[in-house]
């Protein structure tokens, strides 16, 4: 298979980093082998023993100080360069999704109802590759690199567990000097962008995601005599429509929010008015202010409408990940690094955030940094038709891992002030 067809010739790149790209090209088979092993044996959630073992095998022999986290299968691996300087953190998430795989790939999942459908297997391969690349440069490295191998991104808040366990408390150097973490970067592969393309933006890059539950309680009875009951079904319907008016009429369209009711649950028979009706859904926002305001608005609307009909509404909002906010200068820096690797034609400054959610948000609440997207549409496929992330048929172009490893490595080197030729 031809490797890295998407990397631009050096004369089309600006600030070309030929050495790093050559090094990444040589690391592709290593990353591919890790990725395929993880893909075959996917694990879900915070406890990923096989995945952790595979990562430790991959890192074996490298000059890293490894901390195995206790509350999760997280791994913090610290590379200390031979020259003094600050620390930069690179993150890769490691968990799979609870779903069947129907790709037909030779290295398809052998675990029932588990699949690496979000490409986190490629993230691990790329981060381990970057750890090796940077380890090879240890003698000239003016600072340190902390590699964050994180479980439980898919709704388990793995990043928060690792932060709570002291991930960011890097020890002093042997000479007693401090080496604070000055920046953190994460990559996410997407099958909906051509392989090797890169993109991000400053400010909000991914939405907050909260789960919504509304329980309307009335009084059940005979369907033929609704006036002897308090029927929660029309009230639930009114609430669904009023929430859409809340979103469009009470919120700034330039600071958007999404409220989607995905389930309406009520009743058991055609001739019985139920006592309760239930609504479930999701709330997204791209600013903390709008997130808080829409929560308050949903409570007011649901309780107010139910009260107007002599009923009660209980609104339960289960807080998920906060908004992922890229630091502006860090995002611009990351775009510049991306251009130096793939050329300006393959780098996109996104006009809008992505409405999915990410627990790298917790890291970016504590450190300046950015999350970037890496294109991974399989070669020969149309990105618009390629099965998306989380599809049972999604596949990712492994050659894009070369670009990803070059990006991780260049981000670290340039953050630490290494000039690349």
**Whole-number minimum distance, CB 93 to Zn ion, in Å?**
6
**Whole-number minimum distance, CB 356 to Zn ion, in Å?**
7
Q: Catalytic site residue 321?
A: yes
The secondary element (H helix, E strand) that includes residue 332 is helix 328-342
Integer Cα distance of 4 and 127 in angstroms: 17
The encoded tokens of residue 258 equal: 């999404």
Residue nearest to Zn ion (CB): 118
**Whole-number minimum distance, CB 95 to Zn ion, in Å?**
9
Among residues 321, 339, 358, 408, the one annotated as catalytic is 321
**Whole-number minimum distance, CB 316 to Zn ion, in Å?**
24
Phi, psi of 185 (to 5 degrees): -135, 145
**Contact positions toward Zn ion, by CB under 5 A?**
118
**Whole-number minimum distance, CB 78 to Zn ion, in Å?**
24
Q: Where are the alpha helices (DSSP H) in 61-169?
A: 120-136, 158-164
Strand 324-326 with 142-150, pairing = unpaired
Q: Catalytic site residue 238?
A: no
The encoded tokens of residue 362 equal: 């917790």
Phi, psi of 164 (to 5 degrees): -60, -30
Kindly tell me which of 118 and 131 has the beta carbon lying closer to Zn ion: 118
Kindly tell me which of 8 and 361 has the beta carbon lying closer to Zn ion: 361
Kindly tell me which of 279 and 364 has the beta carbon lying closer to Zn ion: 364
Strand partners, 312: 217
Kindly tell me which of 134 and 371 has the beta carbon lying closer to Zn ion: 371
Integer Cα distance of 374 and 2 in angstroms: 19
Kindly tell me which of 276 and 326 has the beta carbon lying closer to Zn ion: 326
- Catalytic residue positions? 321, 398
């Amino acid at each position: 298979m031809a490797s890295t067809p998407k990397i631009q010739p050096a004369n089309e790149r600006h600030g070309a980093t030929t050495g790093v790209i050559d090094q990444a090209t040589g690391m592709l088979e290593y990353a591919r082998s890790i990725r395929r092993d993880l893909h075959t044996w996917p694990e879900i959630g915070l406890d990923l023993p096989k995945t952790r073992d595979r990562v430790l095998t991959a890192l074996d022999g490298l000059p890293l100080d490894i901390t195995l986290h206790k509350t999760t299968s997280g791994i913090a691996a610290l590379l200390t360069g031979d020259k003094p300087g600050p620390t930069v953190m690179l993150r890769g998430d490691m968990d799979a999704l609870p779903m069947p795989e129907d790709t037909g790939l030779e290295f398809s999942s052998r675990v029932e109802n588990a699949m690496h459908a979000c490409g986190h297997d490629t993230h691990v391969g790329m981060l381990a590759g970057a750890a090796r690349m940077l380890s090879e440069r240890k003698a000239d490295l003016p600072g340190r690199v902390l590699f964050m191998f994180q479980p439980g991104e898919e709704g388990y808040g793995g990043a928060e567990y690792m932060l709570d366990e002291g991930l960011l408390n890097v020890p002093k150097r042997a000479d007693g000097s401090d080496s604070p973490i000055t920046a953190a970067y994460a990559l996410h592969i997407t099958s909906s962008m051509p392989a090797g393309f890169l993109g991000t933006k400053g400010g909000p890059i991914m939405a907050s995601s909260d789960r919504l539950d509304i329980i309307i309680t009335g009084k059940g009875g005979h369907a033929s005599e609704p006036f002897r009951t308090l029927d929660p079904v029309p009230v639930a319907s009114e609430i669904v429509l009023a929430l859409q008016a809340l979103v469009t009429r009470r919120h700034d369209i330039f600071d958007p929010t999404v409220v989607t009711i995905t389930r309406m649950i009520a009743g058991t028979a055609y001739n019985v008015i139920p006592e309760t009706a239930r609504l479930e859904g999701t709330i997204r926002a791209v600013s903390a202010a709008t997130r808080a305001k829409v929560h308050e608005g949903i409570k007011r609307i649901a309780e107010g409408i139910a009260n107007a009909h002599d009923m009660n509404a209980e609104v339960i909002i289960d807080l998920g990940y906060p908004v992922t906010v890229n630091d502006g200068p860090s995002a611009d820096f990351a775009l510049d690094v991306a251009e130096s690797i793939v050329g300006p034609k393959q780098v996109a400054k996104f006009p809008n955030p992505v409405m999915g959610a990410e627990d790298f948000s917790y890291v970016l609440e504590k450190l300046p940094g950015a999350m970037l997207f890496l294109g991974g549409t399989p070669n020969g496929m149309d990105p618009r038709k390629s099965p998306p992330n989380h599809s049972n048929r999604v596949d990712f172009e492994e050659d894009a891992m070369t670009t990803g490893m070059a990006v991780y490595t260049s981000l670290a080197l340039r953050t630490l002030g290494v000039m690349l030729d």
